[in-house]
Amino acid sequence: MENVKGNIINSLPFDGLKKIVDLISFEGPILTHFTDSKGDNVFFYWVDYDNSLNRWLVFKVNNIDLYKYLHKKMSLKDLITKNNFVFTVDIDQNVVYQNITLVNIHDLVPIYIPEEFSIFKFEVPELYEKFFKNIPNIPEYYLERLRENAVYIKIDPKDGKQKGTTAVYADEAGDFLAYIAESFINYLGIDFKHSFINNYQDIKKLNRRTNKIKSRFRPRLVYTEFGSFSVAFAPDTINEESGGDAAVHSWIQNVTKKYKKEILETNFSSDQDVDSLIQKYTAIERKEILQPLIHVLNNEDYDTFVSDETLKEQKRIFPVSPIVESKLIDLPKGQITEAGVVKLARLEVFSKKRPNVLDLFDQKIQSSYETEYIRVDENTGYELNYPLRAKYEIIDKTHYLEEERLGIFAQGLDLAEAEQSFSEEFDFIYKTYTTLPDEQLTIDVIQIKNLLNWLVKNGS
Amino acid sequence: MINPKLKYKYALEALGLSIDCPVIDAIEKETYAYRYCFSDLNHPDTFLPQALKNPARRLTTEQLICDNYGLSLFTTAEEAKTRFGKFPERTRALLGYTHIAEGELFPTDGLCTPREDDGHFNLHEYAEVDLIQSFSIHSTL
């Protein structure tokens, strides 16, 4: 065995050592976690042996470092060397302690110090879930746990080199955080709906739960670093309960990583990636998730990077071209289908009197108007499950849109004006009919209400 | 209850274990198995269970548990290598293993505990079994 430089002492200064678990073992312990009578963590790490004794390095570990070590954020080397003093003890096979030595960390035999990246490479024993739950809520520990599920993003000012600074403007940092949070919160709601839609027969209940989830798990800022502006955010999965629902608990634990993978790591220059987003999310969902993100990515003053918790590997997320942006977030507009100028004999039937003159071969545009999205104004719109088809006519320079089943008849001096009128009428009847109980409605209106509920996928 | 066919039956009985040894779902089976070894397969520690090595690594006065009388094996050489690679460098040096031995186990060799997630299992040898006859060097670690 190696010679140890230090002061021999009578006993280790830890009373009532109680074994928690062998963290590393092979045909016997290699690294073992104990607690003493005060509840402090004490590690025994096998470092040497001879014919009759095994030598152990004994050192204290605080709860946060224990957590970091088990979660691969701190090496065994750092765990040991952050102590000013450690102990070595030689133990025989009857567990009799000998040669207990207090060692200044600077005098520790170099080969007893683990290698640089001596991270814990095994599964964290299940008992630690309970172990950590019993630790009082230390702010740093709370943050450490949230950082486990955090998304790390960095913005780098483009003029940094030129101006000799990597500091971002405060207002831009503020906007950046607001946009990213908006994108994430919207993703949270949308992914929750996608994941749990089958659990809800009543769409209103699903919407109410979704809103609660969005509010409860608003991301918290769990890490910041200045220079380049690096931040990490995560939903508060520690203080906020998931309602005792194991499936929701599991979902919220993974949703941040999912957001990172599905959204932040999208290559917006790749047709395949863009098509995948289009297939997975509806137009309104894409708009909610991507529009705030694109504000960030297309900011001309900084570049954006996504990273993991080590912050060592940073991946640039490139700006989104106008074509791709339009493809991803422009909401579908109504289209004129079956358009055509039809010459027909128009029979005036509106007047009570039968017309004297029959206008033969008068010009009339008779077409269909089809839309999958009803846009009312900037903040209000309806995404439809199925295209809504209306009759579109131009008569005497007036544009008409008519949907007989819903009883909507709109007109305008051009198509845009007719569309706007149509959308407002749709909005009015949707809001009126769907909020009233059936008892207050006629049979005809109940039919319209049912049709509206069937038709509307998302309303905002 | 101690299985009466085990090689270390008397030592296990002396421990006064209140548990089944080996575990009740340990079974006889025919399988290839892999074990860490030194370059010289005839090294006396090669097929010696940890409980009989000198000095045994122990940190508590709890009785040597049944597992210490089993031989650590893996179901594939890759799994054995992966587990070894997870140990700190100093541990690898102290264990001293440099190779992996491969051998075929038969029901007459003993009882195998269920395979763990990383491919590890223990063999509790029957009396008169000498595994050195059925193992050979497979690869370096």
Q: Do B58 and A91 touch (CB under 8 A)?
A: yes
Closest chain B C-alpha to A62 CA, distance in angstroms: 21
Q: Confidence class of residue A161 from pLDDT cuts 50, 70 and 90?
A: low
The CA-based dihedral angle spanning residues B102, B107, B109, B111, taken in that order and rounded to the nearest 10 degrees: 100
Using CA coordinates, name the residue in chain A closest to B63.
A94
Residue pLDDT, tens place only, A359-406: 444 555 567 888 888 888 877 888 888 888 888 888 878 888 999 889
Taking a C-beta distance cutoff of 8 angstroms, is the pair A187, A263 a contact?
yes
Indicate if the alpha-carbon torsion angle A232, A235, A237, A239 is positive or negative.
positive
Please give the average per-residue pLDDT across B100-121, as a whole number. 92
A31 phi and psi, to 5 degrees? Answer: -135, 120
Taking a C-beta distance cutoff of 8 angstroms, is the pair A399, A422 a contact?
no
Taking a C-beta distance cutoff of 8 angstroms, is the pair A25, B71 a contact?
no
Q: Chain A contact for B44, CB < 8 A?
A: no
- For Cα atoms B77, A118, A39, give the angle at the middle one, nearest 5 degrees: 115
For residue A131, the model assigns a pLDDT of 81
Chain A interface test: which of B34, B57, B60, B69 (most A C-beta within 10 Å)? B57
Percent of chain A with pLDDT over 90: 38
For residue A112, the model assigns a pLDDT of 95
For residue A338, the model assigns a pLDDT of 57
Q: Confidence class of residue A356 from pLDDT cuts 50, 70 and 90?
A: very low
Q: Do A24 and B91 touch (CB under 8 A)?
A: yes
Closest chain B C-alpha to A123 CA, distance in angstroms: 10
Instruction: Outline where chain B has alpha helix (H).
Output: 9-15, 77-85, 89-95
For residue A366, the model assigns a pLDDT of 64
Q: Do A49 and B55 touch (CB under 8 A)?
A: yes
Q: Coil, strand or helix: which one is B100?
A: strand
CA atoms within 13 A on the CB side of A164: 0
For residue A437, the model assigns a pLDDT of 87
The region, left, alpha or beta by phi > 0 then psi within -120 to 50, assigned to residue B96 is left
Taking a C-beta distance cutoff of 8 angstroms, is the pair A459, A430 a contact?
yes
Q: Do A47 and B90 touch (CB under 8 A)?
A: yes
ipTM for this model: 0.89
Range from A59-63, A64-68, B59-63 carrying the lowest mean pLDDT: B59-63
Residue pLDDT, tens place only, A315-354: 889 999 999 998 888 876 667 665 544 433 333 334 333 3
* Ranges assigned E (strand) in chain B: 31-37, 71-74, 99-105, 110-112, 120-125, 135-140
Please give the average per-residue pLDDT across B64-78, as a whole number. 87
Query: Whole-number mean pLDDT of chain B?
Result: 87
Residue pLDDT, tens place only, B26-38: 899 999 999 999 9
For residue A171, the model assigns a pLDDT of 86
Residues in chain A: 460
For residue A358, the model assigns a pLDDT of 40
Chain A interface test: which of B64, B90, B116, B118 (most A C-beta within 10 Å)? B90
Q: Confidence class of residue A416 from pLDDT cuts 50, 70 and 90?
A: confident
Q: Coil, strand or helix: which one is A278?
A: helix
Query: Whole-number mean pLDDT of chain A?
Result: 84
Please give the average per-residue pLDDT across A179-189, as a whole number. 93
Residue pLDDT, tens place only, A249-280: 888 888 999 999 999 999 999 999 999 999 89
For residue A353, the model assigns a pLDDT of 38
Please give the average per-residue pLDDT across A433-437, as a whole number. 87
pTM of the model: 0.58
